[in-house]
Amino acid sequence: MASRSGAWEALVSRLSPEQIQSPEFSFDDPIRHEWFYTPVDRVGLRIGDLDADQMTDLRTLLGDGLGANGTEQAFKIVQLEELLFSTSGGREMRNPGNYYLMVFGKPTTEGSWAWRFEGHHFSASFTIVDNHLVSGTPAFFGGNPARVPEDSEVHAGLSPFSREQDLGFELLNSFDEGQRAHVILAGEAPQDILTENFQRAEMGAPEGISVADINEGQHAILMELMDVYGDRMNPALLDYQMAKIRQAGVERVHFAWAGSTEPGEGHYYRIQGPTFVIEYDNTQNNANHIHSVWRDFEDDFGYEPLRQHLAVDHHLDMSPSRTEMIATLGSGSKIKDDEHAHQRAHEQGAPHSHSNR
């Protein structure tokens, strides 16, 4: 297996001594779990300070975590920031150079290290254990405007989230009246994703309609919608996520909606199973400002793989390592169903606050 640290090492070879120091933090630094998707002050290696060759190496590193599609969408988000920078009169808080790389621990083929790429409307955190990419969440993708007007002087027609929105409405419109009674939770959408930027994602029991209660055509649309979010991941990470979803029971995945049922008006949906939640919120700027995220209830920031890694190091009797599961999975698979049902596990609720818009 190629070294996961190779892309970082290639980038380092092009950096000045000052640049090398800027993104490096200890693996245990609390800042590793402090993530934001708003235009706040950040630290690390700033992309606005990189030359063309350094940016090429950065894209390679991002590709290792996000895959080709995720990397492309990430830089479309940067393009949207260029538009905001232009329309704001060049306000520094909208500077498209303000996206940062941070590295936690020493990149190596043994042991644990992590990295994050983050800026306004984008944050993705990756954890590596013994050269295996074990986590790529939280993964936040957002955009304002979600659809750039065709007459815009900057990035006219750019629409990085068209499939997330269009497939969501297609699925909603496929439900009959009885199904909609379960799917639509409220007539008003929440102002933001409910998991916000909490370090741990906690939701109550899944709401809405379950996969067990939809027809084959609706199931196909839901799987296609999940594929859109899955395409933002390294293929091996997607395989890992889907293995966990199948193990917990695909039939236990739920789809829920809140807000308007018409495009152009505030709306929200989520896809939730026992192991994960995908949230999409489009309520600001006349419903042309999208926030979306994939959260893993156990593995955000690599919590569970790291716990198991430490248990193995200390010879504790634990379940099989998730890193072994990842190592044996193939790559590039799309989201698929599973024929096996699993016993329903108890889901615990959790309060939420409003800390980071």
Instruction: Domain ranges for the chain, please list them.
Output: 6-143, 162-328
Measure the CA–CA gap between 221 and 218, rounded to whole angstroms.
5
Give the pLDDT of residue 305. Answer: 60
Residue 311 pLDDT grade (very low, low, confident, very high; cuts 50, 70, 90): very low
Tell which wins on pLDDT, 356 or 106.
106
Longest Cα separation, the chain: 63
Give the pLDDT of residue 303. Answer: 80
Q: How far is CA 170 from CA 14, 217, 221, 224, 279, in A?
A: 47, 11, 8, 11, 17
Give the pLDDT of residue 90. Answer: 87
Instruction: Give me the residue label for tokens 């808080």.
Output: 93
Measure the CA–CA gap between 107 and 131, rounded to whole angstroms.
9
**Any residues with CB less than 8 A from the CB of 348 and at least 6 apart, and which?**
202, 204
Give the pLDDT of residue 308. Answer: 58
Statement: residue 291 has pLDDT above 50? yes
Q: Which of 2-16, 23-37, 62-76, 138-152 has the lowest mean pLDDT?
A: 2-16
**Any residues with CB less than 8 A from the CB of 247 and at least 6 apart, and which?**
342
Pairing, β 139-143 against β 122-129: antiparallel
Facing residues of 292 across strands? Answer: 141, 280
Average model confidence (pLDDT) for the chain? 87
Do 148 and 156 contact (CB within 8 A), yes or no? yes
Instruction: Give me the residue label for tokens 């709401």.
Output: 207
The continuous run of DSSP H or E covering 77 comes out as helix 52-87
- Mapped onto helix, strand or coil, the DSSP state of residue 182 is helix
Structure tokens at 115: 């990295």
Statement: residue 260 has pLDDT above 60? yes
The sign of the dihedral angle between the CA atoms of 346, 351, 355, 357 is: positive
Do 254 and 212 contact (CB within 8 A), yes or no? no
Instruction: Indicate the pTM of the whole model.
Output: 0.87
pLDDT tens digits, 125-173: 999 999 999 999 999 999 999 999 999 999 999 999 999 999 999 999 9
Mean pLDDT of 100-129: 96
Residue 1 pLDDT grade (very low, low, confident, very high; cuts 50, 70, 90): low
